[in-house]
Amino acid sequence: MIWLAGAGGHIEAVEHGCRTLWEMFWDDDYGGFYWKVGLDGTVADPEKHLYGQAFACFALAKAGKVDDANWVFQWFDLHGHDASNGGYFEALWSEGEPHLIGDEKDAIGTPYGLKSMNTHLHILEALTELYSASKDRKVAQRLHKVLHILRSKFVLPDGRLLYYTTPEYHAASDIDSYGHAMETAFLLVEAAEAVHDQVEATCEIARTIVDRILAVGWDERFGGMFNEGHFDQEPHDKDKIWWVQAESFNVLRMMANRYGSPYDSYRDRQWRFIEDHMIDREHGGWRPKVLEDGTPLQSQNKSDAWTEGYHQGRAILLALQ
């Protein structure tokens, strides 16, 4: 509960958020949280995505609502667990049945029928937080299995991280998402430490991931981390995205604490890039995106449907410990 220490009036906001989840997003008929509701409470998108269920579980556990978080876990585990292949289905229909076939993409952009690294790493995160708060045996069992799947199925031996896979965990994409890779390295270590599951081996896997991303995604000229590329190719998206910079700083801080050089130098350079270019000192907050050299875009919204305080909040709070 370190995030709430000294939070003062912010605890009221946390309580408000928890109430809103149940009052506006929870489906009283079939269970599960809707993906999107309007300000008036009408359901705008009824999909029950495991990414959203995981974040709700994570938030409730972090807020100390352990019984509520466990209730969410029990629901998405009952409906979303893939008993044949392990791990979880991505998207569920409103009634809770897996949505596996379709020409379109789900709420987070994954083609229906595939599995994503993004959803599984945040399920891992939610289970880590819930287990740390509850020590529940079933949560621990699922946590061990998802940790194993990420380490052995999504992460390749050379540190590449599969973005999409088939239900059986065969590669279905060559997208190289640098921010997700860095975030995964951190969450793997956090989970392994929580359940004492091959901690040193997991740290070495995380180190392989980080070393590879520094080699392909780090901007040696201007500093900061590029956004995205494809395996074995130069980055095709060299913009600097706020959450990618935050996650890169967070894992470089962790690696510097564990291994020292050269990660301490990368950590410091990453923070300088954030201070110099991502933090908006005139209007507050972080700029959502800057160009390769750190130049702010002349016209962009400060916030959109994906903007939150999670990535940079965690990175900064953990750095202050």
Rg (C-alpha) for the chain, rounded Å, is 19
Rounded to whole angstroms, how far apart are CA atoms 193 and 184? Answer: 14
Residue 1: what pLDDT?
40
Whether residue 2 has pLDDT greater than 70: no
Sort 312 into a burial class: Cβ within 10 Å, 0-12 / 13-18 / 19+.
buried
Average pLDDT for 177-196: 98
8 A C-beta contact, residue 32 and residue 79: yes
Characterize 172-209 residue by residue with b for buried, 16 or more Cβ atoms within 10 angstroms of its Cβ, and e for exposed: bbeebbbbbbbbbbbbbbbbbebbebeeeebbebbbbb
pLDDT band at 67 (very low <50, low <70, confident <90, very high): very high
**pTM, rounded to two decimals:** 0.95
Whether residue 5 has pLDDT greater than 60: no
**DSSP 8-state assignment for residue 282:** T
* 265 SS3 class: helix
What tokens were used for 167?
């239900």
pLDDT tens-digit map of 212-235: 999 999 999 999 999 999 999 999
